[in-house]
Amino acid sequence: MNKRLSFVIAVGLLILAACGPSADDNQASGPTAEAGGGVAAFMEGQPRVDDQGAVTVTVTPMGRPAADGSLAFEVAMNTHSVDLVMPLAALATLTSDSGLSLPADSWDGPQGGHHVSGTLTFALTPEQLKLLESAGSLTLTIRDVDAPERKFSW
């Protein structure tokens, strides 16, 4: 009798486990998924990946604008064949559907190598900050990193 009861309980637990949420159900969307949208997704820091050419570029927003009005992105570039000696601040532009359009202010990553990461920063005036706050979507465009153009949208 105890063996039969143990068997029924084990089968019941297996059924409950199979019907419950999987580990994947509790995870955020992957780096290239368009989960959420607009500024809300941007503020959550969801990374975006572009793997055109021989360079994989991963961009992760670093949250809300800082007290000084700057907006920052963590950028990681990885390759095995290209020397990553690009002046990233000169190649990046931030735009929004609310009319915001500005060039990057600074890039603190190293110049050169095959695995480069750093912070790309945009300085916002109070007017630009208002445009950012009313935006429904943001796009970071990076040109000429082993591809004519890479777009990262939130």
Out of 2.160.20, 2.60.40, 3.40.50, 2.40.30, select the CATH number for domain 28-153.
2.60.40
| pTM of the complete model beyond 0.85 | no
Mean pLDDT score of the chain: 79
**DSSP secondary structure letters along 86-133:** --HHHHEEEEETTS-EEE--EE-SPSSSSEEEEEEEEE--HHHHHHHH
Give the Cα separation of 74 and 109 in Å (integer). 10
**For residue 28, what pLDDT is reported?**
30
Query: Domain residue spans in the chain?
Result: 28-153
Record the tokens describing residue 18, joined without a space.
Answer: 């199979």
Report H helices in 2-65.
2-19, 38-43
Residue range 100-122, pLDDT digits in tens: 999 999 999 988 889 999 999 99
Nearest to 119 by CA among 148, 65, 76, 78: 76
Q: Read off the pLDDT of each residue in 120-136 and give the average, rounded to a whole number.
A: 90
Nearest to 108 by CA among 100, 118, 93: 118
